[in-house]
Structure 1
């Protein structure tokens, strides 16, 4: 179970506190067990600073606390603060990364062949960038038309092998498998099975997908169709 530690303090020396955090990251390189750290400053009280540190588990957090470098940084932290910092230890019982959720729904809708649902997950100004399509800058209607041809031709099943999210961006590693059952870009149906891999990057905005970039193994697919020898 993931574990989060919240450190709450008051200080007028925020710049020095930031430098101290940089020092901690450098000093514990290769040793620390923390996976994510956020420092926030209260907008209504600039002396109120909160640090949120995430660990894979409580046990890993304790390993991190026992590092001599962590003890030294803590003593320096206390010296920067107005009084003793407070600590809150939290076991994570729910962790939803909402941009990941909308991207998963995007792929679920594609596998259901529901392109209207795909459109509903995208912003009005959605742009799609895919070198395998007619243009590297398609709007949602052009995307639906061209991707609809691909879905009819191959009836593919897309599998999400991994998702990584940071800020407004979600990166996806995926694989696909299908059968060439209808014409595609002038190539009549061959009845051949196809499979391959791809990567996609999504930019989210207001809970919807605003932009996407795609890369597929098109050469490998053409070889599987017998269009290119190799």
Structure 2
């Protein structure tokens, strides 16, 4: 059986689902038991359908969306992938209860994905929530 590098699976998911908004790819890349953890999302997202809704909601609120991979590290033994990323776009529709601001967003962060049988089964997101909220005008910018 041909072994696929787990980094390639994560990269393909980011390109197809997040950048190209090809939501049909979710069925091929996201396992039924998938769980998405993100402190900015009120509850865990479970399964391909809830994940599709998450992507639709975020992509629908941020035009000119782009997620770039800066670096990836994979643990071949456990099929864990760490990805450092940068997301850009324009907040032009309601998002997480925040009215459109027209502000540009530029957020960096990390994804920690677990891959099994060539599919995403778990994702932890750790991104610059403070910076994101500041860019949306929810928090005043204070120098430290």
Residue equivalent to 1:101 = 8
Residue 123 of structure 1 and its aligned partner are, at CA, apart by: 1.5
Alpha carbons 2:86, 2:108 under 8 Å: kept: yes
- Find the aligned partners of 1:99 and 1:146 in 2 and give their Cα distance: 23
Q: Which of 154, 158, 166 is 2:67 aligned to?
A: 158
Asked whether 1:210 is paired with 2:118, we answer no
Alpha carbons 1:127, 1:140 under 8 Å: kept: no
Residue equivalent to 2:22 = 114
Residue 124 of structure 1 and its aligned partner are, at CA, apart by: 1.8
Residue equivalent to 1:149 = 57
Residues 54-97 of structure 1, C-alpha deviations (whole Å, 9 max, x = no match):
xxxxxxxxxxxxxxxxxxxxxxxxxxxxxxxxxxxxxxxxxx86
Name the one with the larger helix percent: 1
User: Unaligned 5+ residue runs, structure 2?
Assistant: none
Residue equivalent to 1:31 = none
Q: Under a length normalisation based on structure 1, what TM-score does the superposition of the two structures give?
A: 0.55
User: Unaligned 5+ residue runs, structure 1?
Assistant: 1-95
Alpha carbons 1:133, 1:146 under 8 Å: kept: no
Name the one with the larger strand percent: 2
Q: After TM superposition, list the pairs within 5 Å mapping 1:1-230 onto structure 2.
A: 98-109=5-16, 110-155=18-63, 156-167=65-76, 168-230=79-141
Structure number with the bigger relative contact order (C-alpha 8 A, sep ≥ 6) is 2
Aligned length: 135
Range with bigger deviation, 191-200 or 217-226: 217-226
Larger radius of gyration: 1
3-state SS of paired residue (2:24): helix
Residue equivalent to 1:8 = none
Residues 37-62 of structure 1, C-alpha deviations (whole Å, 9 max, x = no match):
xxxxxxxxxxxxxxxxxxxxxxxxxx
Which consecutive segments of 4 or more residues in structure 1 shift more than 4 A? Answer: none
